[in-house]
Amino acid sequence: MCGRFVVNAQIDEMARLFTALTSNTVPPVPNFNVCPTNQVHVVRSGDTRRQLLPMRWGFLPSWYKTENAVPLLTNARAETIAEKPAFREACRARRCILIATGFYEWTKTPEAARLPWFIRRTDEAMVAFAGIWQDWGPETDRQSTCAIVTTPANQHMAQIHHRMPLILEPDDWPLWLGEAGHGAARLMRPGGEEILTYHRVAPAVNSNRASGAELDRPVA
């Protein structure tokens, strides 16, 4: 799964990397503790070119009456995404990419203490999470919402958690965004062992109110 992540890249860098036209309402950067329901940086395919847009992290199906309805759908499992009523239409027609620098995951000690880890790409490039999106709300107050697609963890990541975000390589972006025809389902598999690296970080990040550049720094 992915419960929180980091965005520490300039917006113009994101736009150049994804060759996207930037909305003037994207959230400010950096954010070292992106939490569910926050506005996040999302790339989706537009009529003539890609768009870099803000979306609420927390997918809202059309039948939700309020944005605080439960469950909070921040992740969508790759194994069932095409079957779940909440996700299946978005999986076919509304795929997107969420941009991150890295993400957090937690392990537990025998005493049940939560130990946080920061996970990033080994090449230190931006992380492209596969996502799906859905517009929600009345026509006078529509908002775009999204979820991150997850897969079973590869062997390397399984030492921390049994699931991981679906991370897309640049060559995969056109297919995932629907620009290269059909066949995106074949991308829904765990990434290779060499893609990610991780290190322990301080327990300050256990709070969703924590902020600051020190949150993703290594600790002994």
pLDDT recorded at residue 112? 79
* 3 state DSSP class of 197: strand
d(CA 190, CA 168): 10
Tell me the mean pLDDT per 10 residues along the chain, length 220: 94 98 97 98 96 98 95 98 98 98 94 92 98 95 97 96 97 98 95 94 96 95
Tell me the CATH architecture of domain 4-102+123-194. Answer: Alpha-Beta Complex (3.90)
Q: In the numeric block, which tokens belong to residue 181?
A: 């025809």
Which one, of 58, 55, 64, 217, lies nearest residue 144 by Cα? 55
8 A C-beta contact, residue 195 and residue 40: no
8 A C-beta contact, residue 127 and residue 121: yes
Q: Which DSSP category does 9 fall into?
A: S
Q: In the numeric block, which tokens belong to residue 190?
A: 């765990």
pLDDT recorded at residue 203? 95
d(CA 7, CA 192): 22
Q: In the numeric block, which tokens belong to residue 13?
A: 């860098």
* 3 state DSSP class of 19: coil
Global confidence as pTM: 0.97
Residue appearing with tokens 């954010």? 31
d(CA 216, CA 200): 8
Q: Where are the domains positioned within the chain?
A: 4-102+123-194
Q: Is there a cis peptide before residue 30, judged by omega within 30 degrees of 0?
A: yes
